[in-house]
């Protein structure tokens, strides 16, 4: 069986445990005639205040980031940028969760705005920490005061940036500075934008005003060879979910499917089915993970998503998901565990 891998790559130890996470956002609203979950595009007023508070909360982290990129050796700057952007992504996700935002586009833009604010703040702090770059008009004996003065003078900050580029010794150096700044700016915006939008598109129960409970089913099912056929079947007959999945399979199978359920407080449930493939170390496209797998034979298992999900957030009738889980776990209890490939 040939499988084309794309997108998701995940690694774990030999035991794939269930993760019962009470979180994820999306909706259950009047569009009950659609087979798939669709966000209600609601943005509570409190969410706007939460985003503004979140932007202000980035200020100490922006200061720390500016200090790190000033004091540490330049080679670690990309790592600092990645850590900062990931932190902004986590913040954006938490803001969407706390604010109960069910509008992916709005939350994506809000996440990008928070990232832009943090980038602007760290730029002001970075200039203030490099005394030779501080314009005389905003110079102060106190670094925080200098940062504040720069913060309200974007024209002076732009002048400093232009001056750095113009003072560079060559066209290569000028291009390098511009490329680094643009990459940093894009990273600050992109990661929180994606994280916020994904969180806002997750299932949300409108009746109970709570995020749907996410249940990653802790057993493996057969690999779905004809996803298009199965997708159409489930769209027309979602009550056939259990029959389509069949009984759990033993984890020694290299190709298998994973099921995630999203349960609302009422009767609404949604399912995502994804085809996965276990990978041997030599096939791992990520060099660091490949080396780690080879260094820890039998200890690390990597799986890759095969194509797009078979179904994603399809509305299904599930009476008691906990009972269904117990039945699947009981059926899988006597099956052998997966042997991690070396």
Point out the least confidently predicted range of 76-80, 216-220, 330-334. 330-334
Statement: residue 20 has pLDDT above 90? no
Range among 139-153, 179-193, 212-226, 326-340 with highest mean pLDDT value: 179-193
Statement: residue 25 has pLDDT above 90? no
Mean of the pLDDT values across residues 312-326? 85
301's tokens: 């298992």
Mean of the pLDDT values across residues 111-128? 97
- pLDDT of res. 321: 80
Range among 17-21, 68-72, 135-139, 289-293 with highest mean pLDDT value: 68-72
Q: In angstroms, rounded to a whole number, what is the distance separating the alpha carbons of residues 285 and 298?
A: 19
Q: How confident is the model at residue 250 (pLDDT cuts 50, 70, 90)?
A: confident
88's tokens: 């902004």
Tell me how crowded residue 51 is: count the other CB atoms within 10 A of its CB: 26
Give the N- to C-terminal CA distance of the chain in Å, as an integer.
Answer: 20
- Cβ–Cβ under 8 Å, residues 58 and 88: yes
DSSP H or E stretch at residue 6: strand 5-12
Q: Cα dist. 178→119, 154, 188, 222 in Å?
A: 15, 17, 15, 50
Phi-psi region of 7 (alpha: psi -120 to 50; beta: other; left: phi over 0): left
Q: How confident is the model at residue 11 (pLDDT cuts 50, 70, 90)?
A: low
The DSSP call for residue 2 is -
Chain CA centroid to CA 198, Å:
7
**Domain extent listing, the chain:** 5-30+210-332, 45-200
Q: Which residue has the tokens 């039998």?
A: 298
Burial class (CB in 10 A: 0-12, 13-18, 19+), 237: exposed
- Contact residues for 100 (Cβ-Cβ < 8 A; gap 6+): 25, 42, 44, 46, 47, 204, 209, 211
The DSSP call for residue 267 is S
- pLDDT of res. 99: 95
The DSSP call for residue 167 is T
R_g (Cα) of the chain, nearest Å: 25
The percentage of residues in the chain with a pLDDT greater than 90, rounded to a whole number, is 52
- pLDDT of res. 114: 98
Helix H segments across the chain?
Answer: 45-57, 59-71, 77-99, 104-129, 143-151, 154-166, 171-200, 227-236, 241-245, 287-295, 321-332
Q: In angstroms, rounded to a whole number, what is the distance separating the alpha carbons of residues 154 and 152?
A: 6
- pLDDT of res. 322: 80
Q: Which residue has the tokens 């993970």?
A: 289
> pTM (2 decimals)?
0.76
Statement: residue 335 has pLDDT above 70? no
- pLDDT of res. 314: 93
Statement: residue 10 has pLDDT above 70? no
Burial class (CB in 10 A: 0-12, 13-18, 19+), 290: middle
């Amino acid at each position: 069986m040939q499988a084309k891998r794309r997108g998701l790559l995940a690694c774990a130890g030999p035991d794939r445990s269930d993760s019962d996470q009470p979180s994820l956002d999306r909706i259950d609203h009047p569009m009950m005639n659609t087979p798939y979950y669709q966000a209600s595009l609601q943005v509570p007023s409190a969410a706007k205040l939460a985003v503004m508070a979140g932007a202000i909360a980035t200020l100490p982290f922006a200061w720390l980031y500016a200090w790190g990129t000033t004091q540490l050796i330049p080679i670690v700057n990309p790592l600092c940028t990645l850590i900062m952007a990931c932190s902004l992504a986590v913040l954006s996700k938490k803001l969407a969760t706390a604010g109960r935002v069910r509008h992916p586009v709005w939350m994506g833009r809000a996440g990008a705005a928070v990232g832009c604010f943090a980038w602007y703040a760290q730029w002001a702090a970075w200039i203030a920490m490099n005394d030779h770059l501080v314009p005389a008009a905003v110079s102060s004996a106190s670094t925080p005061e200098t940062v504040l003065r720069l913060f309200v003078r974007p024209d002076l900050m732009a002048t400093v940036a232009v001056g750095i580029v113009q003072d560079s010794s060559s066209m290569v150096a000028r291009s390098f500075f511009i490329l680094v700044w643009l990459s940093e700016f894009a990273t600050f915006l992109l990661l929180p934008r994606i994280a916020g939008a994904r969180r806002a598109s997750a299932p949300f129960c409108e009746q109970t005003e709570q995020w749907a409970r996410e249940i990653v089913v802790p057993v493996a099912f057969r690999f779905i060879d004809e996803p298009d056929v199965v997708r159409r079947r489930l769209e027309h007959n979602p009550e056939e979910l259990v029959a389509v999945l069949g009984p759990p399979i033993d984890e020694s199978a290299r190709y298998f499917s994973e099921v995630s359920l999203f349960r609302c407080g009422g009767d609404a449930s949604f399912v995502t089915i994804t085809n996965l493939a276990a990978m041997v170390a030599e096939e791992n496209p990520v060099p660091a993970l490949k080396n780690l797998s080879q260094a820890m034979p039998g200890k690390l298992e990597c799986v890759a998503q095969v194509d797009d999900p078979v179904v994603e957030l399809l509305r299904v009738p599930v009476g008691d998901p906990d009972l269904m889980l117990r039945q699947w776990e009981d059926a899988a209890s006597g099956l052998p565990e997966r042997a991690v490939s070396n």
